[in-house]
Structure 1
Amino acid sequence: MQAGHLSRRSFLAAAASTSCLMTSRSLQAAPDFGGFTVGVQSYTFRNFDLEGMLKRTKQLGLKHAEFFSKHIPTDSTPEKLTAILKLCKEYEVTPIGFGVSGFSKNHDANRKLFEFGKAIGANYLSADPSMDSFDSLDKLCEEYKIAIAIHPHGPVGKGRHQWCSAEVILRAVKDHHKLIGTCLDTGHLLRMEQLGEKLDPAEQIKLMGERNFALHLKDYDNKKREDVPFGDPAGQLDVQAVLKALKSAKFTGHIAIEYEANPDDPAPDVKKCIAHLKNAAEKLG
Structure 2
Amino acid sequence: MLGRKRLWLVGVAAVLAVFGLWAPGAEAQEVSAEDRQRIEAALPAKAPAVPKKPRKLLIYDVNVGYGGHGSIPTANLAFTLMGQKTGAFETVISRDPAVFAAESLRQFDAVFFNNTVGNQFEDPVLRRNLTEFITGGGGLMGVHGTTVGFTRWPGAIEDWPEFGCMLGARGASHLDAEERVMVKLEDPAHPVALAFGGNDFEYADEFFRFGEPYSRQRVRVLLSIDNERTAALQGKEAVHPFRQDNDYALAWVRNYGRGRVFYSAIAHHPRVFWDPQMLSFYLAAAQFVLGDLPAPTIPSAKLTPALRAQEKLGWRLGVEAYTFHKFTLFETIDKTAQLGLPYVGGLSFQPVSAEIPKNFDPQLSDEELQQVRLKLDAAGVRMLTYYIQDIPGDEAAARRIFEFGRKIGIETFMSEPDPAALDTIERLCEEYGINVALHNHDRQASPHYWSPDAILAVCKGRGPRIGACADIGYWMRSGIDPIAGVRKLGDRLITIQMHDLHARGAAGHDVPWGTGVGRTERLLREMHRLKIQPTMFGLEYSHNFEQSLPEVAQCVEFFNKLSLELAK
- 1:113 and 2:347 correspond: no
Contact 1:58/1:92, CA 8 A, preserved across alignment:
yes
Query: Structure 2 residue aligned with 1:91, among 374, 379, 384?
Result: 379
Q: In structure 2, do the counterparts of structure 1 residues 32 and 269 end up closer, same or farther at CA, with 3 Å as the change threshold?
A: farther
The equivalent position to 1:154 in structure 2, one of 442, 450, 457, is 442
Q: Tell whether 2:506 aligns with 1:226.
A: no
Distance 1:76 1:15 in 2: 17
- 1:138–1:52: structure 2 CA closer, same or farther, 3 Å change rule? closer
- Counterpart in 2 of 1:270? 552
Which residue number in structure 2 is paired with residue 5 of structure 1? Answer: none
In structure 2, C-alpha distance between the alignment counterparts of 1:167 and 1:28, rounded to whole Å: 36
Measured after TM superposition, the shift of residue 166 of structure 1 is: 1.1
Cα offsets for 1:176-199 (capped at 9, x unmatched)? 222100111111110103xxxxx1
Say which is worse superposed, 103-112 or 165-174, in terms of deviation: 103-112
Contact residue 218 and residue 257 of structure 1 kept, 8 A = yes
Residue 209 of structure 1 deviates from its aligned partner by 1.6
Superimposed CA distance per residue, residues 214-255 of structure 1 (whole angstroms, 9 cap, x where no aligned partner): 1101112336432111122xx221222222332314325211
Name the amino acid aligned to 2:433.
Answer: K
Q: CA deviation at 1:81?
A: 0.4
SS of residue paired to 2:415:
strand
- Gapped regions of structure 2 (runs ≥ 5): 1-101, 104-123, 135-162, 167-255, 261-295, 299-306, 353-359
Change (3 A) 1:229 1:164: same
What is the CA-CA distance between 1:13 and the residue it aligns to? 6.9
The structural deviation recorded for 1:45 is 0.8
Number of equivalences: 269
Pairing 1:38–2:326 present? no
In the superposition, the TM-score normalised over structure 1's length comes to 0.85
Q: Give the one of 457, 461, 476 matched to 1:190.
A: 476
Aligned to 1:134: 422
Distance in structure 2 (CA, Å) of the matches to 1:101 and 1:28: 30
Asked if residue 56 in structure 1 is aligned to residue 335 in structure 2, the reply is yes
Q: Which moved more, 1:220-229 or 1:38-47?
A: 220-229
- Which residue among 17, 36, 41 is the counterpart of 2:131? 17
**In structure 2, how many angstroms separate the alpha carbons of the residues matched to 1:11 and 1:109?**
22
CA distance in 2, matches of 1:133, 1:236: 36
- 1:104 and 2:392 equivalent? yes
Note if contact 1:100-1:151 (Cα within 8 Å) is conserved in structure 2. no
Q: Does 1:173 align with 2:407?
A: no
Distance 1:278 1:226 in 2: 23
RMSD over aligned Cα atoms: 2.6
Query: Structure 1's 51 and 141: CA in aligned 2 closer, same or farther, altered over 3 A?
Result: closer
Paired residues of 1:15 and 1:118 also in contact (CA < 8 A) = no
Q: 2:523 aligns with which of 242, 264, 277?
A: 242
Taking the aligned partners of 1:155 and 1:11, their CA distance within structure 2 comes to 46
Q: Which has the higher contact order (CA 8 A, sep 6+)?
A: 1
1:155: Cα distance to partner? 4.4
Gaps of 5+ in 1: 1-7, 194-198
Distance in 2 (CA, whole Å) between partners of 1:220 and 1:241 is: 15
1:240–1:141 distance in 2 versus 1, CA, 3 Å: same
Q: Distance in 2 between matches of 1:252 and 1:80?
A: 29
Pairwise CA distance, 1:14: 5.2
SS of the equivalent of 2:545 reads coil
Note if contact 1:220-1:226 (Cα within 8 Å) is conserved in structure 2: yes
Q: Can you list the C-alpha shifts for 1:127-147, whole angstroms capped at 9, x where unaligned? A: 101121111112111111111
Tell me the TM-score normalised to structure 2 length: 0.44
Distance 1:53 1:23 in 2: 17
Structure 1 residues 65 and 94, CA gap change in structure 2 (3 angstroms)? same
Aligned partners of 2:257 and 2:383 also within 8 Å: no
Is 2:495–2:535's contact at 8 Å kept on the other side of the alignment?
A: yes
Write the letter of the residue equivalent to 2:544: N
